[in-house]
Structure formats: structure tokens, C-alpha cells
Structure 1
Amino acid sequence: MRLIFTSLVSHGHLYPLLPLAVAARDAGHDVLFATGDEMLPVVEKAGLATESAGFGMREAFTSVFGPDARPRSGDEPPEAFYPVIGEVFGNVLPRRFVADLTPLFERHRPDLVVYETGNMGGAIAARLTGIPAIGHGFGRVSPGEVNDVIAARLAEYSAEVGFDGGTLPSFGDAVIDICPESVQAPDFLAKANRIPLRPVGWAEPGDLPDGVLGRDKSRPLVYLTLGTAFGDEDVLKRAIRALARLDADVLVAAGPAVDPAQLGDVPGNVRVEAWVPQAELLPQVDLVVHHGGSGTTLGAFGEGLPQLVLPQGADQFTNAEAVVAAGVGGQLIGGNATEEAIFETSRKVLADEAVRAAARALADEIAAMPSPAEVAKRLPDYAG
């Protein structure tokens, strides 16, 4: 069977699809992965054939604001940004992906398209070319008004290109869901034709920092990251000062947005790296302090790790709420994320047996979900 996978151009949207794409290839399917140029090397390192499609979110937002415009000032409420998010995700990105994917689908004529659910251009292009398609989620679905705004703009664009998109999620297509049911949004569970898939961490090949493997595990290891898109020097500095006060070792992944040198001298129990292979690191740590990105949140769920979430934007706020609701950690938002609050909350979460028990239960739930190899065997059922 010939399959085309397609995702938006970002690590957070691309990585969740790679385990299933690789499993489908290993099951003997002909797999092609279509995404933007900057992500193609990552896919190629996974051993998959690629084609270029779409462009990145930065370019999409620039097309709305212009190269010099600021999308939102810090004193504006999030709701003021909703029309822009609706335009980017309901029109600009889908329009570009449809333009690129429609001829690609016509040329390759796959039996099935697997599109990441943030990339509704993949769904529309599949409908326009008459090819069966299913969605693939990248984490917990964020409920609320912003999704309604995106859906309304997407319906306008769908009508423009010639079909009634119907209602979300995913125009009624089946959706591969990597979020455990106990923390998934209830509204999504009620509406979606859901295909559960165990979230499997993906990281580009790389070695763990010296001293992580074989370390003395009587001393906790805390992992601090703000991800690839929302790195903030001030937040990282504040969190480093707080976590250094713990009787623990701290490993920091500064990410591409922050030069490690900007963080200055750090205490002796803190180590700063530009990047770490997160999927390989998580089994070695005891607490994750992070931004609430779906990949880090689900990775910590899968490893049964306590979490402290410092959400910075996008779906990170609802992910943080899910962490708290599941009893597996805490959250500190905006001005509440002081050095003292980060220290105290981290100390309490790290020592709380109830949190550890809840985290282990969530990890057991994830372990019981179908593996990528199991779901890959079922993909022909959706090819029509």
C-alpha cells in the first residue's frame, strides 16, 4: 500500500507522526512524507522518502502581519489574537498546503493520506483528489473559542475550493489519537472517530550528555526545557536559579531560541546544553520542568514522571491544566512563575508520593495503548 504522511513544518507537529510512518514502512508499505524544507532532513534521518510541501509557521504569520509587524503586544488578552490564529491556521497554512499537496497527491496517487490534524490542508487536498484520508493528532486537543474561530475560517476556505468541510474534528475522518483517554478533552472524545495510538517519543539521533547514564540515582535529576519554539531567556534564568536550590542535579536544554552562553555562569549542580535527545533522556530523569508542549507533556506521561509546567503560549495552557487535573504535577503561569514559586512547587512535586503514584498510573494507561506497529497493520482498513 502507498501512504503519504504530511505535517505542519515544526518539530512539535512532525515528531508525533514519525513513529507510525516508520512502523508503516517497516510493515512493507510504500511511505512518503511531505512537509516543509526545513523539516525534511529530520524525516530523512528516520530513513523515509520525502517531498517538499508547505511552509513554516513563522512565514505564515509574517504573511499576515508583514515582516516588521508585532503580532501581539504583551498587554493584550489572548482573545485579541484569535482572529489572527484563525486566519493562519484556517486559511494561510491550509491554502499553501493545498496548493503544494494537490499536485503531489495526483502524481503519486497514494492509497491513503495520513495528515497531522493541525495541517487541515492535507485533509482538503485529499478530499479534492478523491483519496481516502485519516487524521493524526499531536497531543491533547485544546477546547475553546480559538478552535471555533479556526473552524469558521476553515469552513470559508473549504467552500471556496469546492466542498462542504462539515464539522471538526478532521472533517469527520477517523483520527489517530496519541493522547491517553483519561486526559483527552471530553468534547473531542464525544465527537471523534478515535484510533488510539501509544505516544512514542522521537528524537533526532544523538548522545546523552556525559554523566547521565550510570549516574548515582540516589540524587534526583531534574530536566528543564522550554522547547524549540517558546524559549525565553528570562524564564530559563529564573527557573535555573530556583532548581539549583534543590538537592538535585539539573540538566537544561536551552533550545534553538536561546544561546546557552546567554544564560551566563550557572551553579555547579546545573548543566546547560543547547539540545538533548529528549526521548532518550526522559527515562533517566525524576522531574520535568517545562513549557507544556505536547511532545514533552506526553513524553513525561509515558515515563511516569512528575511535572511542573510553565506554559508560554499555544496549547501549553490546556496541557498544563491537564497535568494538574491528572494529579501528576503543578503549573505556574505568567507572573506566578517566580523563582520562589518554582523552587517550592518543584520541591513539593518531587517529594509527593501521590503525584508519583498518579504519574505511574498514567504511564500504565499509555503502555496499554496500541503500539505503532499494531496501528500500522490496521492502516489498509482505512484506505477504502
Structure 2
Amino acid sequence: MRLIFTSLVSHGHLYPLLPLAVAARDAGHEVLFATGDDMLPVVEKAGLAAESAGFGMREAFESVAGPDAPKPNASDAPPESFHPVIGEVFGNVMPRRFVADLTPLLERHRPDLVVYESGNAGGAIAAHLAGIPAIGHGFGRFSRDDVMDVIYGRLAEFGAEVGLEGVNLPSFGDPVVDICPESVQAPDFLAEANRIPLRPVGWAEPGDLPAGVVGRDKSRPLVYLTLGTAFGDENVLKRAIGGLARLDADVIVAAGPAVDPGQLRDVPSNVRVEAWVPQVDLLPHVDLVVHHGGSGTTLGAFGAGLPQLVLPQGADQFTNAEAVVAAGVGTQLIGANVVEDAISEQARKLLTDETVLGAARKLADEVAAMPSPAEVAQRLPEFAG
């Protein structure tokens, strides 16, 4: 069977699809992955055939708001003031580009099934216009909020323009591979979706863990701090480092591509700053994750049974933080509350709260019981034409 996978041009949108794509290839299917140029090396390192489609989020935002527009998480403007730009980018600019790039690719390869990442509406629209069966693939929780309503409004307009009026958003009426455990998934999505559960299997490019992680003295907790690949903020990281350094614990910081690690050089002796760490390999050694609420880190911590202190910065991170709190596996700090004292206090509580630790272990058991990528890959022919 011929399969085309496609995702937005971002680690957080690409990585969740790679385990199933690799499992499908290992099951004997012919797999091609279509994403933007910046992510093609990642796909190729996974051993998958790749073709270019779409363009990056930064380029898309600059095409709408200009190169000097501030990031929503780095602006004093109210978040809702950015909704029109976000809606235009995700509901029109990027879908339009992906449809343009994927349409000739689908004509050349004529796949039996398209697996599109749920943020990549252009993948769904291109498949539907070509008459090719398709399924969505989530990258986390399917939350619905004001900004998503703006995005869906623009998508509905674009869909009508190309002949897909009345399309059922966000699933386009397709089955959806859902990597979020059911107990923390959005209830409205569970009520409406044709859901294909899939265990969230983390993906990271090969790399060594920081020295001292393996075989470390486990009498001291290890705290992992990251703000992800897209929403890194130097000031937030500095405040978090200041708060966590007060703990009788070791702290590993992943600065990510948005922050220069050199700006975080002067740190206490129990803190270590890295540009990047292989998160999948690190989490089994960690006792607490302090992070931005990105879907990959949130789900990774779910699977590892870890308590979480979430410092949401934008996008779906606020609803992810709410889900963490509702599940009893962590807490959140937002805006003016993201200060050293509060971070230190909350982290100290989370490291010792047996109720939270028990809830985290229970959620990890739920994740472990979800179908594996190999099992879901065996089902893919059910959805092909």
C-alpha cells in the first residue's frame, strides 16, 4: 500500500507522526513524507523518503504580519489581538500553500491513503480534492478555544472557495489517530470523533545525554526545564532557573533553538544548560518536568509518569496546562505569577506530593495500555480506498 504522510514544518507537528510512519514502512508499506525543507533532514534521518511541501511558520507569519511583528508571548498586547493573524496563517496561508504543493505530488504518486497531521489542514483539503482517502493524526489534545474558532472560520472560507463547502471541522469527517490518553482528551472531541487511539511514542534525533545523567546519585532529584522549540523566552528561562536552583536538586535546562544558551551562562552550580537534549532518552531519568505546555513535552511526561509544572507561553499550551491540573498530575503558573519564589515553591511541592505522584503513575499506565505504532500500522489498510 502507498502512503503519504504530511505535517506542518515544525518539530512539534512533525515528530508525533514519525513513529507511525516508520512503523508503516516496517510493515512493508511504501511511505513518503511531505513537509517543508527545514524538516526534510529529520525525515530522512528516520529512514523515510521525503518530498518538499509547504513552508515554515516563521515565513508564513512574516507574510501576514511582516518580519518585525512581535511574538504573541513576547508582547504586552492582549492575546486576542493576535487572533486575526493566527487565523489567517493557520486557516488560509499555510493550507493554501500545502494544497498547491501537495496536489501535483498526489497526482504523481497516487497514494492509497493520506495521513495528515491535524494542524495541516492543507493536507486534508488536498486529499479530499484529489478523491484520496485520508485520516488525521493528532499531535496532542484537540482543544477548542476562541483562536481555534477564528482559524476554523478562515478554513471554512478557503474550503468553500475550492469546492469543499460545509466541511466538518476540525476532522474534515475523517477518522483521527489520537495520541492523547482518553482521560485527558477534550470531552467534545471524544464525543464527536471517529478516534483511532495510538500510544504517544516520543521521537528525538539521536544524541548523547548530558554527562552525569546516567548513573547519577539518585538521592537528589533531577529537574528538567524546557520551553520547547518555538516559544523559548530568555527571561522566563532565567526566572525558572533562579527558582529551581534553590532546590536541593540538579537541574538540566534545554534552551532550544529560540534562545542562545550563551545568554544563560551564569547559572548556579546545580544547574546545567544545554542547547538541546534528546528528551525521549532524558525523561526516564527525571523526577519533575518544568515546561511550556507544548504537546510533545506534556504527553512525554504523561508517558513517563512525571509530575509537571507548566508555564504556558502561547498556542495550545494554556489548555494543555489546564488538562495537567485537572488530571492532578501537576500545576501551572501564568503571566505575572511566573516568578522565582512561586516556581521554587511549586516545584518543591510537586517533588514530594504523593497524591500527584500517584496520579502521574496512573496516567502512565493508561498511556502504556494504548495501541502501539506497530499495531495501528496494521490497521491502516482498513482506511484506504
Asked if the contact 2:152/2:170 (under 8 Å) is kept, the reply is no
Normalising by structure 1, what TM-score? 0.98
Task: Find the residue that maps to 1:308 and give its secondary structure.
Answer: strand
1:260 maps to which residue?
Answer: 261
The amino acid that maps onto 2:314 is G
How far residue 258 of structure 1 moved from its aligned partner, in angstroms, is 1.1
The amino acid that maps onto 2:218 is K
Task: Find the residue that maps to 1:54 and give its secondary structure.
Answer: coil
1:14 maps to which residue?
Answer: 14
Q: Does 1:211 align with 2:212?
A: yes
Q: Deviations over 1:282-315 (max 9, x none)?
A: 0110000000000000000000000000111111
Q: Which runs of 5+ in 2 are unaligned?
A: none
How far residue 266 of structure 1 moved from its aligned partner, in angstroms, is 1.1
**Structure 1 residues 254 and 115, CA gap change in structure 2 (3 angstroms):** same
Equivalent-residue separation in structure 1 for 2:69 and 2:292 (angstroms): 25
How far residue 76 of structure 1 moved from its aligned partner, in angstroms, is 2.3
CA RMSD of the aligned region, Å?
Answer: 1.0
1:277 maps to which residue?
Answer: 278
The amino acid that maps onto 2:170 is P
Deviates more, 1:215-224 or 1:287-296: 215-224
Deviates more, 1:98-107 or 1:156-165: 156-165
How far residue 259 of structure 1 moved from its aligned partner, in angstroms, is 1.3
How far residue 165 of structure 1 moved from its aligned partner, in angstroms, is 4.7
2:370 maps to which residue?
Answer: 369
1:249 maps to which residue?
Answer: 250
2:38 maps to which residue?
Answer: 38
Task: Find the residue that maps to 1:170 and give its secondary structure.
Answer: coil
2:2 maps to which residue?
Answer: 2
2:56 maps to which residue?
Answer: 56
Q: Does 1:185 align with 2:196?
A: no
1:166 maps to which residue?
Answer: 167
The amino acid that maps onto 1:43 is V
Equivalent-residue separation in structure 1 for 2:43 and 2:274 (angstroms): 23
2:313 maps to which residue?
Answer: 312
Task: Find the residue that maps to 2:172 and give its secondary structure.
Answer: helix
Structure 1 moving runs of 4+ over 4 Å: none
Deviates more, 1:162-171 or 1:126-135: 162-171
Asked if the contact 1:120/1:170 (under 8 Å) is kept, the reply is no
Task: Find the residue that maps to 1:172 and give its secondary structure.
Answer: coil
Asked if the contact 1:169/1:191 (under 8 Å) is kept, the reply is no
Q: Deviations over 1:186-231 (max 9, x none)?
A: 1111111110000000000101111111111121100000101111
Equivalent-residue separation in structure 1 for 2:30 and 2:153 (angstroms): 35
Asked if the contact 2:92/2:158 (under 8 Å) is kept, the reply is yes
Percent identity reads 83
2:328 maps to which residue?
Answer: 327
Normalising by structure 2, what TM-score? 0.98
Q: Deviations over 1:126-175 (max 9, x none)?
A: 01111100000000112122222111111110111122252212211000
Equivalent-residue separation in structure 1 for 2:66 and 2:349 (angstroms): 45
Equivalent-residue separation in structure 2 for 1:244 and 1:230 (angstroms): 22
Equivalent-residue separation in structure 1 for 2:214 and 2:137 (angstroms): 33
The amino acid that maps onto 2:100 is A
Deviates more, 1:92-101 or 1:153-162: 153-162
Q: Does 1:337 align with 2:355?
A: no
Task: Find the residue that maps to 1:142 and give its secondary structure.
Answer: coil
Equivalent-residue separation in structure 1 for 2:61 and 2:225 (angstroms): 28
Asked if the contact 1:117/1:137 (under 8 Å) is kept, the reply is yes
Between the two proteins, the alignment pairs up a number of residues equal to 384
**Structure 1 residues 244 and 71, CA gap change in structure 2 (3 angstroms):** closer
The amino acid that maps onto 1:11 is H
Q: Which runs of 5+ in 1 are unaligned?
A: none
Equivalent-residue separation in structure 1 for 2:293 and 2:110 (angstroms): 38
The amino acid that maps onto 1:356 is L
**Structure 1 residues 70 and 344, CA gap change in structure 2 (3 angstroms):** closer
Q: Does 1:95 align with 2:89?
A: no
2:29 maps to which residue?
Answer: 29
